[in-house]
């Protein structure tokens, strides 16, 4: 019993050590001025969470539900799905990464003084026409139509390293309500691929493993 309790007590510390120093550790930055050097507060709160997005995990940041995004443009005309407006978990990501809402707009406060403070690489703006499509349904029908995608209901993946490995069907491991979202590729808490820390990815980039988790090439 005592040993079991010790393991549980250690888990939060382990997770915190992984996000510490990552791109999502805002403690000590300009955004951290009002956060008391906390790490989690910019996105999460234990009480009075923002529920504007369904299934948001105790969300603490302002969300712009009226942003006019331009979806992936499919310039080659080869996409067999229709890219959607960022929804679900992707809408949460874009609440910082579209540059429209201040990073410091959290906890019910909307000072907006830190709009545009995210690096240009991470500030996608509203034009997502040249970014990997998100918020579209990826299912067996799409895989069969496209012929260059693995069947998410049948084919399996294993992402991450060591104790943070997740294995199962593509649908179970990488999709959210059967959709490809930002978090299908990115691990916001930096728990899975520490060697790729700066990209916060869920699988190795060596040999394009991350891409090949879904793309049958």
Measured in residues, the chain has a length of 217
Average pLDDT over the chain reads: 86
Confidence (pLDDT) at 73: 87
45, 58 contact by CB (below 8 A): yes
Q: Please, are residues 155 and 173 in contact by the beta-carbon 8 Å criterion?
A: no
Q: What residues pair up with 44 in beta bridges, in sequence order?
A: 59
Q: Bridge partners of 215?
A: 149
Is residue 44 within 8 Å of residue 60, measured between CB atoms? Answer: yes
Please report which residue ranges of the chain form alpha helices under DSSP H.
2-19, 88-97, 140-146, 170-174, 182-185, 209-212
pLDDT by residue (tens digit) across 167-213?
A: 999 999 999 999 999 999 999 998 888 776 668 999 988 899 999 99
Q: Say which residues have a Cβ less than 8 Å from residue 49's Cβ, sequence separation at least 6.
A: 56, 58, 59, 60
Give the global pTM: 0.86
Q: Please state, in angstroms and rounded to a whole number, the distance separating the CA atoms of residues 87 and 65.
A: 9
Please report the beta strands in the chain, taking only residues with DSSP state E, as ranges in sequence order: 136-137, 156-159, 166-169, 179-180
CA distance 92 to 15: 20
* Residues 81 and 136 sit within 8 Å (Cβ to Cβ): yes
Least confident span in 13-17, 56-60, 64-68, 104-108: 13-17
Q: Provide the sign of the torsion angle of the four alpha carbons 148, 152, 158, 160, taken in this order.
A: positive
Provide, rounded to the nearest whole percent, the portion of the chain with pLDDT above 90: 59
The string of pLDDT tens digits covering residues 107-126 is 988 888 888 788 888 899 99
User: At residue 61, what are phi and psi to the nearest 5 degrees?
Assistant: -105, 150
pLDDT tens, 19-37?
888 888 888 776 655 666 7
pLDDT at 213: 98
State the Cα angle at 56 between 93 and 117, rounded to 5°.
25
Q: How many Å apart are CA 162 and CA 171, to the nearest integer? A: 21
CB 104 within 8 A of CB 56: no
Cross-strand pairs, 73: none
The Cα–Cα gap between 217 and 146 comes to 12
């Amino acid at each position: 019993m005592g040993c079991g309790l010790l393991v549980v007590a250690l888990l939060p510390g382990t997770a915190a050590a992984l996000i510490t120093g990552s791109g999502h550790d805002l403690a000590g930055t300009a955004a951290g001025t009002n956060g008391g050097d906390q790490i989690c507060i910019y996105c999460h709160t234990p009480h009075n969470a923002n529920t504007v997005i369904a299934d948001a995990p105790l969300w603490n940041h302002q969300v712009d539900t009226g942003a006019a995004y331009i979806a992936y443009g499919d310039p080659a005309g080869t996409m067999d799905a229709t890219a959607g407006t960022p929804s679900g978990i992707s809408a949460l990501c874009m609440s910082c990464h579209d540059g429209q809402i201040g990073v410091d707009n959290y906890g019910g406060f909307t000072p907006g003084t830190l709009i545009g403070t995210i690096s240009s690489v991470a500030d996608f703006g509203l034009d997502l026409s040249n970014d990997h499509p998100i918020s579209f349904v990826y299912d067996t029908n799409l895989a069969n139509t496209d012929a260059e995608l693995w069947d998410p209901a049948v084919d399996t993946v294993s992402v991450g390293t060591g104790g943070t490995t997740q294995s199962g069907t593509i649908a179970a491991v990488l999709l959210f309500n059967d959709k490809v979202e930002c978090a299908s590729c990115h691990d916001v808490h930096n728990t899975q691929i520490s060697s790729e820390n700066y990209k916060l990815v869920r699988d190795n980039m060596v040999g394009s493993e991350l891409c090949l988790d879904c793309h049958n090439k």
